């Protein structure tokens, strides 16, 4: 085979890995977050309290986060093809079980098991990183990560399917009806996708971690950069998962919208936060991950600062000769639903671009350990989606202001941005130590125009 032909085959194999893993991840992400939409009919049928219902989604998110590190390592050692295909098959089992749950306890257990789907992200990241060269990894990982749009899949198809499929089911009850049809359908699709992935990807896979001792693969986790990247990912992904679940309730409680309208407006946040990920990867390849992260954090800080502002006005105390009442209200601020939606859209765009930029860092810093490092970063980011909603709730409870949700995000983003900037300044000072304390340099002759 000529070098040109070999290059063509390799390019085709890369595309097979990229698109199969992206479609598979989209489906797995839909399964991972399906309880956000199925919650209302589940609550009605089983008579659950709001707290019980919240735990169903929470345990699924938790299980989709805690195993990302080991699954990333498995993908590096044994290849993404076999690990991803196995995950599709295994996840189909609890998906079918969810459709048969008859009690809250059963549903809680099956939801936890179905949450395994969320760990497929770490597998896909390691798999694509093994196939793509460094200068194209940002774009490739961005395209793969756009599978986050699966969060909207159930939001759009779930209600329609629940309405169309009879409650008694199909084929004499073999296929369950109502809300149970959705997890049953996902179980079937997961098995079909497993067959397609196994048949449609290169049989000879790439395994950068094959033969390496586990201790060596875990060694990079001692590097502080890994934990810094993890905090970045909590901001751009953990907060995304949290807001995707939190925003419908916010729209209903704060703006008095119907749940159907609230879900549609929430989609205006989810879509850019997912679909702009390839754009973020492309920009990170072209401009560098740091520049993209500066822009992402900057946009988030500006938008969340405005979103965190409570409604109110300033009261001026004036002489009665100027103001008979003695007071005057000025600078009244009210957040309209359209301004709110526009700002949340900006946050979604920044998160979508930032998610890809974070994962551009990883193969640059740790080219041989993308599975382990990407798994840990993904795990901690996803855990942010588990822990942030309680912080939102307690912040609102203690202050009485729903805007505390965005103040928390503002502070979290600010800490991340400061840490990133201090790190960059440290790199620059290390590269040019002679400029470390030379803050005010005299202008050169060229700068003076001489």
pLDDT of residue 95: 95
For residues 81 and 170, state if they share a domain.
yes
Alpha-carbon distance of 185 to 167, in angstroms, equals 15
**CATH code of 39's domain:** 1.20.1250.20
For residues 297 and 238, state if they share a domain.
yes
Alpha-carbon distance of 58 to 10, in angstroms, equals 41
311-339 pLDDT, tens digit each? 766 666 667 666 676 666 666 667 889 99
Residue 400: give the domain boundaries.
Answer: 214-436
184 is a domain residue: yes
pLDDT of residue 422: 92
Regions of the chain where pLDDT drops below 50: 447-448, 450
For residues 115 and 45, state if they share a domain.
yes
Read off the DSSP letter of residue 175.
B
For residues 343 and 206, state if they share a domain.
no
For residues 250 and 145, state if they share a domain.
no
Sign of CA dihedral 100, 267, 27, 231: negative
Total of domains in the chain: 2
pLDDT of residue 446: 52
Contact 89, 382 (CB under 8 A): no
Contact 317, 326 (CB under 8 A): yes
80-96 pLDDT, tens digit each? 999 999 999 999 999 99
395: CB partners within 8 A, 6+ apart = 401, 404, 405, 407, 408
pLDDT of residue 448: 46
For residues 71 and 57, state if they share a domain.
yes
For residues 123 and 59, state if they share a domain.
yes
């Amino acid at each position: 085979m000529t070098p040109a032909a070999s290059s063509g085959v390799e390019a085709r194999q890369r595309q097979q890995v990229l698109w199969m893993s992206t479609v598979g991840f989209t489906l797995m992400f839909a399964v991972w977050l399906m309880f956000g939409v199925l919650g209302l009919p589940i609550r009605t049928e089983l008579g659950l309290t709001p707290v019980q219902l919240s735990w169903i989604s929470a345990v699924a998110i938790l299980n989709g986060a805690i195993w990302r590190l080991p699954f990333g390592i498995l993908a590096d050692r044994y290849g993404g093809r076999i690990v991803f295909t196995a995950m599709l098959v295994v996840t189909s089992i609890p998906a079918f079980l969810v459709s048969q749950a008859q009690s809250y306890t059963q549903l809680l257990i099956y939801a936890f098991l179905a949450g395994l789907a969320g760990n497929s992200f770490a597998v896909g990241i390691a798999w694509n990183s093994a196939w793509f060269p460094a200068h194209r990894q940002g774009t490739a990982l961005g395209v793969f990560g756009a599978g986050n749009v699966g969060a909207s899949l159930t939001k759009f198809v779930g209600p329609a399917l629940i309405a169309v499929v009879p409650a008694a089911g199909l084929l004499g009850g073999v296929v369950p009806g109502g809300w149970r049809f959705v997890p049953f359908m996902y179980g079937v699709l997961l098995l079909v996708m497993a067959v397609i992935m196994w048949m449609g990807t290169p049989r000879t896979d790439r395994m950068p971690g094959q033969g390496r001792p586990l201790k060596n693969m875990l060694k990079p986790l001692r590097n502080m950069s890994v934990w810094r990247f993890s905090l970045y990912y909590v901001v751009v992904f953990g907060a995304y998962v949290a807001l995707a679940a939190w925003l419908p309730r916010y729209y209903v409680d704060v703006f008095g919208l119907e749940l159907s309208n609230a879900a549609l407006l929430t989609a205006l946040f989810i879509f850019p936060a997912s679909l702009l990920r390839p754009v973020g990867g492309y920009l990170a390849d072209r401009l560098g991950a740091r520049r993209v992260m500066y822009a992402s954090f900057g946009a988030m800080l500006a938008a969340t600062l405005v979103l965190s502002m409570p409604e109110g006005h300033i009261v001026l105390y004036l002489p009665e000769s100027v103001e008979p009442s003695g007071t005057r209200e000025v600078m009244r601020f009210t957040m309209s639903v359209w301004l709110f939606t526009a700002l949340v859209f900006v946050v979604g765009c920044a998160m979508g671009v930032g998610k890809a930029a974070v994962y551009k860092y990883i193969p640059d810093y740790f080219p041989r350990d993308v599975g382990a490092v990407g798994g840990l970063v993904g795990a901690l980011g996803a855990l942010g989606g588990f822990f942030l909603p309680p912080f939102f709730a307690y912040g609102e409870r203690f202050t009485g202001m729903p805007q505390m949700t965005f103040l928390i995000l503002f502070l979290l983003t600010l800490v991340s941005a400061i840490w990133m900037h201090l790190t960059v300044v440290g790199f620059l000072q290390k590269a040019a130590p002679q400029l470390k304390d030379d803050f005010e340099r005299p202008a050169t002759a060229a700068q003076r125009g001489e």
